[in-house]
């Protein structure tokens, strides 16, 4: 067998307490791990040019071209896990420990790696604490001047079966990190706003339905049913419906319903299960009044799989009846709208929608392929057309395609087709609003967002795109009000919303409030070059030149190709001076841009 020696950056990771987790619920643990790998871990590894050498149960060995890539990858995964574990009790969390070393390895003909480089990384992982990253001195030396890291020097450490002691550094991220400013010169970010009080109108959170199919791979189906119920209820103007992003935080969490309801700011909680076996499906659901703990309504639906859409319609109508909602004409009409009837196409769409929610390049590509498979079965499936349109727009925004301008044109054309197919479907208007916004047609983008919100008043996605349109249009005060509504519907809002908040405050000249919002974002995602770039401009306007230059250096470290010219060309500000104010802040700090 041929082999060759080389120096490589090696990352070894495993799941803390895997045997305990698997012993409690092996199928669910395996399903969660598969989902984490496909939606979070593997896309991040790909972005940072990593190569998965092998997986052994819950452990992974990865080779990187540089230690910087390895550390950035580990930070993103560990930060992502903090968000994925939010709301879960400690005994249900999946946590990783990571060891990284730069050293000599032997690469065998089949691509496997062996040698001291691998052994040291594995021993570092073995002593790492949950949620942390342990670096050897050789690895730390490569990154200490290039990345802003909070580390603890653990001193010389004798690792098992390693002859000489090795100096070890512990890197902590997320909730495990010691308290310190999120950025140089900053202040500790204020806590995120508490959930709003329960609104006056009926309010509900739909939890992720349990997958009872006996097949962990069917998790996407039970999640998809839950999300569609949220979508249906979100159409009702007389109801306050919590977004999937927040209600799914409590998936598998052993948290009492009253506590969940209080955290989400709702009175009612819907929970249930889905059992899909062959061509049969059973859906059970129960509506709980969190103020009393009593059951308001419960039902079980045993049907052929082809009747799943009828089940969803009946379930939604029964919930409306149980809540004693008085529907206006528009709400009644929206509940009476039809659905796709081909189950195979629907399943492809559910898988695609789940992939798109990862907001990664690989997830975006997978979503497009799965939606195309749905359309191949059902050419008139408007929701699948809208999903493909959205993926093309994301390719443009993130420069993920070889020809971003072509991607945007394609996204616009497909979104127009989706709306033409089903004017009554809000997701088509969402995709078209996004496409029009990035095409600099802000008036039409606003109109499409308004049409979508008229169809689905509780849609956080439409509220977010509306706020973005308002920022680019110069209506930042109105954008702040829109974002406030979005946060009430999605108390566990995604960290990108904080960037929108910062952008709105910046446009209003409220630079200190913009800094506070960016600091909150950087606590949750320390790898955002756009956050650091805006922070640098804020500091420039505030006369904090040294901190501005340091924040700008962080932006360029994260993305050496970060370009003011591209952002000037791409960001669709109606008033060019709104963008130039961002450049002005950098120049005030003495930066040449």
> Tokens for 236?
């009702």
Inside any domain, residue 471: no
Q: What is the CATH number of the domain that holds 252?
A: 3.40.50.10070
Give the CATH number of the domain where residue 571 resides: 1.25.40.10
Q: Is 461 within a domain?
A: no
Same domain? For 424 and 405 the reply is yes
- Residue where a domain terminates, one of 339, 357, 377: 339
Same-domain check for residues 288 and 304: yes
When pLDDT is averaged across residues 279-286 and rounded to a whole number, the result is: 89
Asked if 384 and 499 sit in the same domain, the reply is no
Count other Cβ atoms within 10 Å, centred on residue 523: 21
Task: Say whether both 104 and 220 belong to one domain.
Answer: no
332 band by pLDDT with thresholds 50, 70 and 90: low
Regarding whether 353 and 334 lie in a shared domain, the answer is no
Asked if residue 196 is part of any domain, the answer here is no
Pairing type for strands 294-304 and 151-157 reads unpaired
Residues 42 and 169 in one domain: yes
Strand (E) or helix (H) holding 518: helix 511-524
Q: Is the pLDDT of residue 340 over 60?
A: no
- Dihedral angle sign, alpha carbons of residues 480, 482, 485, 487: negative
- The answer to whether residues 346 and 334 belong to one domain is no
Question: What pLDDT score does 367 carry?
Answer: 93
The pLDDT of 420-441, averaged and rounded, is: 95
Average pLDDT over residues 578-584: 96
Q: Is residue 43 part of a domain?
A: yes
- Give the domain CATH number at 76: 3.30.70.1230
Q: Is residue 57 part of a domain?
A: yes
Examine residue 188 and state whether it is found in any structural domain, yes or no. Answer: no
Is the pLDDT higher at 341 or at 25? Answer: 25
What confidence category does residue 19 fall into, taking pLDDT thresholds of 50, 70 and 90? confident
pLDDT above 90 (res 40): no
> Do 331 and 366 share a domain, yes or no?
no
> Please, what is the average pLDDT of the chain?
86
In a domain, 541, yes or no: yes
Average pLDDT for residues 295-316, to the nearest whole number? 86
- pLDDT of 461 above 50: yes
How many whole angstroms separate alpha carbon 488 and alpha carbon 483?
Answer: 9
Residues 372, 322 share a domain? no
**Distance from C-alpha of 159 to C-alpha of 8, rounded to nearest angstrom:** 20
**Structure confidence by residue, pLDDT tens digits, 367-426:** 999 999 999 999 999 999 999 999 999 999 988 999 999 999 999 999 999 999 999 999
Instruction: Count CA atoms within 13 Å of residue 268 on its CB side.
Output: 23
pLDDT score, position 133: 93
Domain boundaries, position 388: 342-456
Are residues 402 and 264 both part of a single domain?
no
pLDDT at 448 over 90: yes
pLDDT at 483 over 90: yes
Asked if the model's pLDDT at residue 329 lies above 80, the reply is no
* pLDDT tens readout for residues 159-209: 887 888 889 999 877 544 333 333 333 433 333 444 445 666 889 999 999
Nearest to 270 by CA among 295, 243, 292: 295
Same domain, 399 and 434: yes
pLDDT exceeds 60 at position 1: no
Give the span between the Cα atoms of 214 and 162, in whole angstroms.
44
| List of residues 6+ apart from 394 with CB closer than 8 A | 359, 364, 400
Q: Is 466:446 a contact under the CB 8 Å cutoff?
A: yes
- pLDDT exceeds 70 at position 237: yes
In percent, how much of the chain has pLDDT > 70? 91
Tokens encoding 333 = 């009409």
Sign of the CA dihedral running 512, 513, 517, 520:
positive
Task: Tell the residue number behind the tokens 């009393």, with chain if given.
Answer: 292
What's residue 57's pLDDT?
A: 75
* More confident of the two residues 417 and 359: 417
CA dist 68 and 85 (Å) reads: 26
| Nearest-10 Cα torsion for 211, 217, 222, 223 | 120
Number of domains the chain is built from: 4
Share of the chain above pLDDT 90, in %: 46
State whether 378 and 307 are in the same domain: no
| 295, 323, 339 - which closes a domain | 339
Choosing from 339, 366, 401, the residue where a domain stops is 339
* pLDDT tens track for 73-106: 999 888 888 877 776 777 778 889 999 999 888 9
User: Within the chain, what is the greatest distance between any pair of CA atoms?
Assistant: 78
Is residue 474 in some structural domain? no
pLDDT class for 121, splitting at 50, 70, 90? Answer: very high
pLDDT reading at 443 higher than 80: yes
Integer Rg of the chain from CA: 25
Phi and psi at residue 207, in whole multiples of 5°? -75, 160
Q: Residue for token digits 């990352």?
A: 11
Query: Measured between alpha carbons, how far is 222 from 216 in angstroms, rounded to an integer?
Result: 10
Pairwise pLDDT comparison (434 vs 185), residue with the higher score: 434
Query: Is the pLDDT reported for residue 257 higher than 80?
Result: yes
């Amino acid at each position: 067998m041929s082999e060759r020696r080389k120096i490589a950056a090696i990352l070894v990771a495993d799941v803390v307490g895997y045997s305990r987790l698997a012993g409690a619920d092996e199928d669910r643990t395996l399903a969660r791990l598969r989902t984490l790998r496909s939606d979070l871990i593997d896309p991040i590894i790909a972005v940072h040019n990593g190569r998965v050498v092998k997986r052994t149960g819950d452990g992974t060995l990865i080779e990187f071209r540089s230690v910087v890539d390895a550390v950035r990858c580990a930070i993103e995964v560990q930060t992502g896990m903090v968000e994925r574990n939010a709301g879960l009790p400690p005994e249900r969390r999946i946590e990783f420990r990571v060891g990284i070393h730069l050293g000599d390895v032997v690469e065998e003909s089949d691509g496997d790696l062996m040698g001291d480089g691998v052994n040291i990384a594995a021993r570092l992982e073995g002593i790492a604490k949950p949620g942390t990253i342990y670096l050897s001195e050789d690895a730390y030396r490569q990154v200490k001047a290039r990345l802003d890291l909070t580390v603890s020097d653990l001193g010389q450490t004798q690792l098992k079966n390693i002859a000489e002691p090795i100096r070890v550094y512990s890197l902590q991220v997320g909730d495990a990190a010691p308290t310190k400013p999120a950025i140089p010169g900053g202040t500790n970010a204020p806590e995120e706003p508490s959930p709003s009080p329960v609104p006056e109108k009926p309010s509900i959170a739909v939890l992720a339905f349990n997958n009872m199919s006996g097949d962990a791979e069917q998790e996407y189906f039970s999640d998809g049913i839950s999300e569609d119920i949220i979508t249906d209820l979100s159409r009702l103007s007389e109801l306050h419906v919590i977004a999937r992003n927040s209600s799914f935080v409590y998936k598998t969490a052993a948290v009492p319903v009253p506590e969940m309801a209080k955290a989400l700011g709702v009175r009612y909680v819907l929970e249930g299960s889905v059992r899909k076996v062959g061509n049969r499906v059973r859906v059970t659901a129960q509506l709980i009044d969190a103020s009393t703990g009593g059951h308001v309504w419960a039902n079980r639906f045993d049907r052929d799989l082809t009747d799943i859409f009828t089940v969803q319609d009946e379930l939604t109508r029964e919930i409306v009846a149980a809540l004693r909602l008085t529907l206006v004409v528009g709400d009644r009409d929206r509940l009476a709208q039809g659905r796709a009837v081909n189950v195979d196409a629907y399943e492809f769409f559910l898988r695609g929608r789940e992939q798109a929610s990862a907001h990664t390049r690989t997830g975006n590509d997978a979503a497009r392929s799965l939606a195309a498979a749905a359309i191949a079965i059902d050419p008139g499936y408007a929701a699948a057309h809208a999903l493909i349109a959205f993926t093309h727009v994301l390719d443009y925004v993130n420069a993920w395609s070889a020809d971003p301008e072509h991607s945007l044109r394609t996204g616009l054309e497909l979104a127009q087709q989706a709306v033409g197919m089903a004017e009554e479907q809000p997701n088509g208007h969402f995709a078209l609003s996004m496409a029009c916004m990035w095409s600099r047609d802000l008036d039409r983008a606003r109109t499409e967002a308004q049409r979508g919100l008229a169809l689905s008043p509780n849609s956080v996605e439409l509220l977010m795109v509306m706020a973005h349109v308002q920022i680019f249009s110069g209506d930042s005060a109105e954008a702040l009000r829109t974002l406030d509504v979005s946060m009430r519907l999605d108390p566990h809002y995604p960290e990108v919303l904080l960037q929108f908040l910062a952008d709105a405050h910046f446009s209003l000249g409220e630079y200190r409030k913009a800094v506070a919002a960016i600091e909150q974002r950087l606590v949750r995602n320390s790898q955002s070059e756009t956050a650091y770039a805006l922070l640098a401009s804020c500091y420039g306007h505030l006369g904090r030149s040294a901190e501005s230059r340091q924040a700008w250096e962080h932006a360029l470290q994260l993305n050496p190709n970060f370009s003011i010219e591209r952002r000037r060309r791409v960001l669709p500000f109606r008033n060019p001076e709104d963008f130039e104010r961002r450049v002005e802040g950098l120049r005030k700090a003495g930066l040449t841009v």
